Chain A
Amino acid sequence: MVPVLLDLITTAAILYIVSSGLLLVFGVMKLINFAHGGLMTLGGYAAVMATAMGLNPWIGIPLAAIFGGIVGLGMERVVVRSLYNRPLDAILATWGLSIIIGQIITLVFDRGVHFAEPPIRGVINILGEPYSTYRLILTALALLLGLGLTAALRGTSLGLSTRAVIMNEDLARGLGINSGLVRSITFTLGSGLAAVAGALITPLSSVDPNMGVAWLISAFMLVLVSGSSLFSLAVASVVLGGAQVVVSNYFGSVLGGMTIAVLAAVILRIRPQGFSYE
């Protein structure tokens, strides 16, 4: 029972890390960034580059944030900005951007799997069960990320502006908040978080030009059932991620692989606002 419980918690943590950037963008901009997967891939390759340069593997994470942030800012300026009023087109355009990122990575590196040194190896004993140290560290990081983002949203003036835009953009603009700037910063931050997530999962994942895309659908579904709340996302990650672990354990991995998508679709049908309490 203990291992399943640990699997459940760590899976939820990984999903939370992977989805939080997407949630931020969806919350503020009300659009789905389908380049999220491509940005994760970019982060994975940041870790590969850190390894290739012989740096400490932990350095790969800020490197990923910088890569993702810069690319995200560029995408927002050139493409996403003109699609604020066309949310469905924004999905397609960001999907196109994801294709572009993937192909550029393929051209620069190659189609193959690359090696990134994991920051930490081995297991530690939890309640008598040996368990992956790295997964436990990811859980701690997910908690820190959630608390950090919440604190940033609540404690800083930019966070206040962002929350105002989330709640009512027209009103926020009327109050003199530069919503364009808030959007730019949010997209940059969301993209940076995506890349960080990509770098963080390299010890558990293959690093290849498609690595992020496999995570996209799960992240997307989690965000849809969470609305724009970081807390709802945590709940959704635990419930849906937990369901995935349980289904995979007792009903097979194939069904497990579909769990998040199917459950999220059903939840949204029954309760369109999903896990958000508004």
Chain B
Amino acid sequence: MSNANVNELGSSSLQRPQVRPLTRMMIVASIALIGVGAAPFFMDAYSVNVLVRSMIYAAIALSVDILWGYLGVLTFGQSAFFAVGAYATALVFTYGGFSAEYAFAALLIGIAVAVALAGLVAFLAFWHGASALYASVITLVLPIIVTQLLFSGGTYTGSSSGLTGFDTIPLSSEAWFWAVGVWLVVLTTVAWMYTRSDAGRLLTAIRENEQRCKYLGLNTSNIKAVIFLICAAIGAIAGWMYANYTMVVAPEIAGFTFGTELLIWVALGGRGTLFGPVIGTIIIDYASAHLQGDFPFVWKLAIGIVFVSVIVALPRGILPLVSNAANWLRGRIGIAQPQQYSQLQLRQASRSGRNIIGFESRGPALVVRGVEKRFGSLEVLSGIDFEATYGEIVSLVGPNGAGKTTLMTCIADGSKRSGGRISIAGHDIAHRPPEECVRLGVGRKFQMANVFDSLTVGECLQIARARLDPLSKWQKSGVCNLPPSAMHVVRATGLHSDLNVPAQVLSHGKKQALELAMVLALEPKVVLLDEPTAGLTKAERTLIGTILTELARTEQLCILLVEHDLDFVREISSRVIVLHQGRIVLNGSVDEVVNSELVKSVYAGSGH
């Protein structure tokens, strides 16, 4: 292939001139700002007061949406960070008095404490092997502890009565309305730009399939932790505003109940939509200010019923329902805008060389020595010994339950095996988690096509490259650099004309090809392929086979393949390893294995 960049426009690229999303967002933001500016002139003092608070709540709801709606971290604890910001402010003003410097200091202290606390929570909640439920549990414990600490602060924190009577930034309600309104619009806009950017799509990728992200070499725990810290800071800033505006703090703002109320607002507005939670929070909080007094229990009952219904029937919330209805209406009156996906350009990457090993390194690509794997007393693998070199295609065969996939897992994730040693290109993988094994040069394709269903093909490829080509944090770069091997797969399988298509609508074969391309985008040395041809048509299988042999030859990849289709194995393998009941029973050339009585009996014995 030449060095020239290859431009590939998606087939669904649009001919008609369009208002670009960024421009559209800027228009929306401008209108919102004008609205914020004008609103106090048309509202009574009461509504202004209530809306200032609603908008502050909307800002924390936004942070909950980023965590839950985008990143998939169900947090009950965002209220704790809000309280930290608010109490920092109240304590500074109560014990230090008000001054502009103190106001600024209070903001910084609030953010610092919230971020430190979030760091502790992140350390506990996000680590390799932590489940989503466990992270939620930690965020549930957080507000409980913070509330108890506030109670036990005695007169210092005002215990259950909270703190009041401190002077704060002397602004009128209208001025607060403008300040909070502008902040909310800016925050929402920035969050919108971030979540739509290449890096923002990564959040969705983690939510959808954290495991795949790890096997793409991404330290998802760190990414989650960073986003969590940022959201804690947003919560603390909102708390600072709240304390300044209302001049009172009470322990209930730290509590689990407020934490779940935030989730209710976000769920009703529409998780993962940013606008939904913001608008939803403002509407629900404003309405409850008016209705709760008249119908206290019925109002809460109604909220409960709507909440349960939305979770069950409309998991994406109410906003998407509204926007779908609007689209439908537009369709009816003939001004339909076709679903718009941004265009993506594929470019050939220069070799990044960021993998730990150099291209020139010699010796075996993969060494497996005495590897064992036990589940309790059950021995799944024992005494596995073999080597594989660059440019070799080694097939692992054996009946179901022989331990093939387990062996793959042990090679790609250092923490999985019970004993033995594995090294990749001369580096011991020790107990490295998958994302670090990727850095050593391991690429793994899973048995079931494992891609990010709600992302486009192009986005999937970008995320696969994220480790090597840092993603833009504020825009869609529209570019994806792929190494020749991945580019070859994309072109050969026709994926280049599907770049803007969501991965979930791809055919099974193309999903398999996409995952293969994603793995190759990692520029691996050792590629682990778990049944890459399962469920493919004959033609597709042949294509994949050709590609693999080419790659092994031209890129000097070491390919380890799990296969059931012995014809396919025969066509492409340079060597075959037969596993049976967790042991290697044969390791030899294709002919040796195919003609082996032992292999026949193994397969016959297991009913194949």
B144 contacts which of A79, A103, A261, A269 (Cβ < 8 Å)?
A261
A88 and B133 contact, CB distance less than 8 A: yes
B129 and A272 contact, CB distance less than 8 A: yes
B314 to chain A: closest CB distance in Å? 11
A257 and B308 contact, CB distance less than 8 A: no
Per-position binary interface string of chain A over residues 86-97, scored 1 when its CB falls under 8 Å from any chain B CB and 0 otherwise: 111101110111
Task: Say yes or no: is B304 at the interface (Cβ < 8 Å to chain A).
Answer: yes
Per-position binary interface string of chain A over residues 64-101, scored 1 when its CB falls under 8 Å from any chain B CB and 0 otherwise: 00000000000000010011001111011101110110
A96 and B307 contact, CB distance less than 8 A: yes
User: In the complex, how many residues of chain A place their beta carbon closer than 8 angstroms to a beta carbon of chain B?
Assistant: 36
In angstroms, Cα B149 to Cα A224, docked, is 24
Task: Say yes or no: is A147 at the interface (Cβ < 8 Å to chain B).
Answer: no
Closest to A261 in B: B141
Task: Say yes or no: is A258 at the interface (Cβ < 8 Å to chain B).
Answer: yes
A89 and B297 contact, CB distance less than 8 A: no
B145 and A92 contact, CB distance less than 8 A: no
B300 contacts which of A32, A79, A103, A272 (Cβ < 8 Å)?
A103
Closest to A86 in B: B315
Task: Say yes or no: is B112 at the interface (Cβ < 8 Å to chain A).
Answer: no
A34 to chain B: closest CB distance in Å? 9
In angstroms, Cα B152 to Cα A257, docked, is 12
Per-position binary interface string of chain A over residues 125-169, scored 1 when its CB falls under 8 Å from any chain B CB and 0 otherwise: 000000000000000000000000000000000000000000000
Contacts of A254 in B (CB 8 A): 148, 151-152
In angstroms, Cα B259 to Cα A92, docked, is 12
B267 to chain A: closest CB distance in Å? 7
In angstroms, Cα B264 to Cα A158, docked, is 37
State whether A107 and B297 are in contact (beta carbons under 8 Å apart), knowing that A96-B304, A96-B307, A265-B137 are contacts in the complex.
yes
State whether A92 and B267 are in contact (beta carbons under 8 Å apart), knowing that A254-B152, A278-B376 are contacts in the complex.
yes
A262 contacts which of B136, B141, B311 (Cβ < 8 Å)?
B141
Task: Say yes or no: is B328 at the interface (Cβ < 8 Å to chain A).
Answer: no
Closest to B68 in A: A88
State whether A99 and B303 are in contact (beta carbons under 8 Å apart), knowing that A88-B74, A91-B136, A107-B298 are contacts in the complex.
yes
Task: Say yes or no: is B130 at the interface (Cβ < 8 Å to chain A).
Answer: yes
Closest to B308 in A: A96
In angstroms, Cα B308 to Cα A93, docked, is 5
Closest to A106 in B: B297
A99 contacts which of B124, B307, B315 (Cβ < 8 Å)?
B307
Task: Say yes or no: is B140 at the interface (Cβ < 8 Å to chain A).
Answer: yes
B312 contacts which of A82, A107, A261, A262 (Cβ < 8 Å)?
A82
B537 to chain A: closest CB distance in Å? 28
A240-274: which residues lie under 8 A (CB-CB) from chain B?
254, 257-258, 261-262, 264-265, 268-269, 272
A272 contacts which of B131, B144, B307, B311 (Cβ < 8 Å)?
B131
Task: Say yes or no: is A59 at the interface (Cβ < 8 Å to chain B).
Answer: no
Task: Say yes or no: is A221 at the interface (Cβ < 8 Å to chain B).
Answer: yes
Contacts of A79 in B (CB 8 A): 308, 312
State whether A217 and B140 are in contact (beta carbons under 8 Å apart), knowing that A86-B315, A88-B133, A106-B297 are contacts in the complex.
yes
Contacts of B14 in A (CB 8 A): none
Task: Say yes or no: is A104 at the interface (Cβ < 8 Å to chain B).
Answer: yes
Task: Say yes or no: is B138 at the interface (Cβ < 8 Å to chain A).
Answer: yes
B390 to chain A: closest CB distance in Å? 38
Task: Say yes or no: is B94 at the interface (Cβ < 8 Å to chain A).
Answer: no
Closest to A110 in B: B297
Contacts of A96 in B (CB 8 A): 264, 304-305, 307-308, 311
State whether A107 and B145 are in contact (beta carbons under 8 Å apart), knowing that A89-B311, A97-B308 are contacts in the complex.
no
B301 and A100 contact, CB distance less than 8 A: yes
If over half of A's interface residues share one DSSP class (helix, strand or loop), that class is named, otherwise mixed; here it is helix
Interface size grouping (class) on chain B = 35 or more
A95 and B260 contact, CB distance less than 8 A: yes
In angstroms, Cα B26 to Cα A128, docked, is 79
B301 and A107 contact, CB distance less than 8 A: yes
Max chain B Cβ within 10 angstroms of own Cβ: one of A32, A92, A111: A92
Task: Say yes or no: is B505 at the interface (Cβ < 8 Å to chain A).
Answer: no
Contacts of A278 in B (CB 8 A): 376
Task: Say yes or no: is B190 at the interface (Cβ < 8 Å to chain A).
Answer: no
A23 to chain B: closest CB distance in Å? 15
In angstroms, Cα B130 to Cα A261, docked, is 17
Contacts of A261 in B (CB 8 A): 141, 144-145
A91 and B74 contact, CB distance less than 8 A: yes
B132 contacts which of A88, A95, A258 (Cβ < 8 Å)?
A88
Task: Say yes or no: is B263 at the interface (Cβ < 8 Å to chain A).
Answer: yes
Closest to A26 in B: B133
In angstroms, Cα B74 to Cα A89, docked, is 9
Contacts of B315 in A (CB 8 A): 86, 89
Task: Say yes or no: is B134 at the interface (Cβ < 8 Å to chain A).
Answer: yes
A103 and B304 contact, CB distance less than 8 A: yes
In angstroms, Cα B305 to Cα A278, docked, is 39
A92 and B263 contact, CB distance less than 8 A: yes
In angstroms, Cα B308 to Cα A97, docked, is 7
In angstroms, Cα B566 to Cα A205, docked, is 68
A269 and B124 contact, CB distance less than 8 A: yes
A100 contacts which of B127, B132, B144, B305 (Cβ < 8 Å)?
B305
B254-307: which residues lie under 8 A (CB-CB) from chain A?
256, 260, 263-264, 267, 297-298, 300-301, 303-305, 307
In angstroms, Cα B74 to Cα A79, docked, is 19
In angstroms, Cα B297 to Cα A100, docked, is 10
State whether A103 and B124 are in contact (beta carbons under 8 Å apart), knowing that A91-B136, A96-B307, A97-B308 are contacts in the complex.
no
Contacts of B145 in A (CB 8 A): 258, 261-262
Contacts of B129 in A (CB 8 A): 272
B137 and A224 contact, CB distance less than 8 A: yes
A10 to chain B: closest CB distance in Å? 24
Contacts of B305 in A (CB 8 A): 96, 100
Closest to B299 in A: A103
A258 and B144 contact, CB distance less than 8 A: yes
A87 contacts which of B124, B130, B133, B144 (Cβ < 8 Å)?
B133
In angstroms, Cα B307 to Cα A95, docked, is 10
Closest to B138 in A: A265
Contacts of A111 in B (CB 8 A): 297
A268 and B303 contact, CB distance less than 8 A: no
Closest to A89 in B: B311
Contacts of B267 in A (CB 8 A): 92
In angstroms, Cα B174 to Cα A119, docked, is 60
A266 to chain B: closest CB distance in Å? 8
In angstroms, Cα B45 to Cα A77, docked, is 47
A174 to chain B: closest CB distance in Å? 14
Contacts of B74 in A (CB 8 A): 88, 91-92
In angstroms, Cα B134 to Cα A142, docked, is 28
In angstroms, Cα B392 to Cα A158, docked, is 53
A93 and B131 contact, CB distance less than 8 A: no
B137 and A93 contact, CB distance less than 8 A: no
A187 to chain B: closest CB distance in Å? 15
B308 and A100 contact, CB distance less than 8 A: yes
In angstroms, Cα B124 to Cα A95, docked, is 24
B130-187: which residues lie under 8 A (CB-CB) from chain A?
130-134, 136-138, 140-141, 144-145, 148, 151-152
5 of the cross-chain contacts (CB-CB < 8 Å) are: A83-B311, A83-B312, A91-B136, A95-B260, A258-B148
| Chain B residues with a Cβ under 8 A of chain A | 74, 124, 127, 129-134, 136-138, 140-141, 144-145, 148, 151-152, 256, 260, 263-264, 267, 297-298, 300-301, 303-305, 307-308, 311-312, 315, 376
A-B pairs with the 8 shortest C-beta distances? A99-B304, A103-B301, A96-B308, A96-B307, A100-B304, A93-B311, A88-B74, A254-B152
| New A-B pairs, 12, CB < 8 Å, besides A103-B301, A278-B376 | A32-B133, A82-B312, A83-B311, A92-B311, A93-B307, A96-B311, A99-B307, A103-B298, A103-B300, A107-B297, A221-B137, A221-B141
